Amino acid sequence: MKGVILAGGTGTRLYPLTKIVNKHLLPVGKQPMILYGIEKLRESGIEDILLVIGAHSAGLYAQLLGSGKEWGVRLTYKIQEEAGGIAQALALAEGWVAPGEPVAVLLGDNLFEDSLSGYINDFLQQGSGAKVLLKQVSDPRRYGVPVLQGGRIERIVEKPADPPSSYCVTGIYLYDGSVFDIIRTIKPSERGELEITDVNNAYAARGQLTYAILKGWWTDAGTFRSLHDIADFLLKEGRP
Ligand code: DAU
């Protein structure tokens, strides 16, 4: 299985830090944010990784990561010309992921403790469809929130004013080979982006969206508070 890390976008919530460097190159504890996702994929046996990045800081990515050899992976880079949404960024992986092959997708600002191996095995046994990983959070309004019904996801609501559950859909997604066909069917949202939630809802509508709940810690490091807190936590734990 191949892996994709989405590290485009503008990082407006971290401005002005992100004026000079892309969000996923900012330090988190002892290393740049992007390395956490790379390590998670490699530790689950995924060594072929596509990084979708913006043109901003592209040279710095090459300088930091190169071919990926130092990190035990093979890296390919694609440039997302404008921040047109998470699903638009994922669409750039079509062709690099062989037709019909499944793919593991991470949002580059999601940091977490669990190993992905068990979830990936469960997903591969599932045979088709998609799987998302959930985490209970105190502030679900910041995220995609699932409507859970009888052990499955009925649908996901993106950043709801009135959250239907206390879970968030994390930025860890496992898709079958039909994901690129699905992306072609979705339309930009009100904020003008191709939303990953619409992709996941297409699977949910077919009854093909399964989920698991992360056991360990998880964070979206995309705000000053969460970026600070996770760095502090990792340093206190003595982790890289
Ligand atoms: O962190 C989990 C949440 O991530 C989910 O619960 C939401 O359903 C999902 O929409 C997403 O919400 P965010 O508001 O946190 O997404 P954000 O715009 O911060 O983008 C997350 C990552 O996706 C970011 O680290 C880089 C990548 N990205 C984003 C955009 C908009 C791209 O590669 N290209 C893009 O155009």
pLDDT tens digits, residue range 115-133?
999 999 999 999 999 999 9
Which tokens hold the place of 8? 């485009």
Average pLDDT over residues 31-44: 98
In the chain, where the domains are located: 2-237
pLDDT at residue 151 is higher than 90: no
Residues sharing a CB contact under 8 Å with residue 33, sequence separation 6 or more, in sequence order: 23, 24, 25, 26, 27, 108, 109, 111, 221
Q: How far is the CA of 143 from the centre of ligand 1 (A)?
A: 9
- The pLDDT value recorded for residue 217 is 97
2-237: CATH class:
alpha beta
Single pTM value for the model: 0.97
pLDDT of residue 238: 82
Q: Which residues line ligand 1 (CB under 6 A)?
A: 6-9, 52, 80, 83-86, 88-89, 107-110, 143-144, 158, 168-171, 193, 196-197, 220, 222
16: preceding bond cis by omega (within 30 degrees): yes
For the segment 1-5, the average pLDDT, to the nearest whole number, is 98
What per-residue confidence (pLDDT) applies to 86? Answer: 98
Mean pLDDT (whole number) for 84-88 = 97
Separation of alpha carbons 226 and 113, rounded Å: 15
Spatial CA neighbour of 173 closest among 129, 125, 207, 142: 129
Position 150 pLDDT exceeds 90 = no
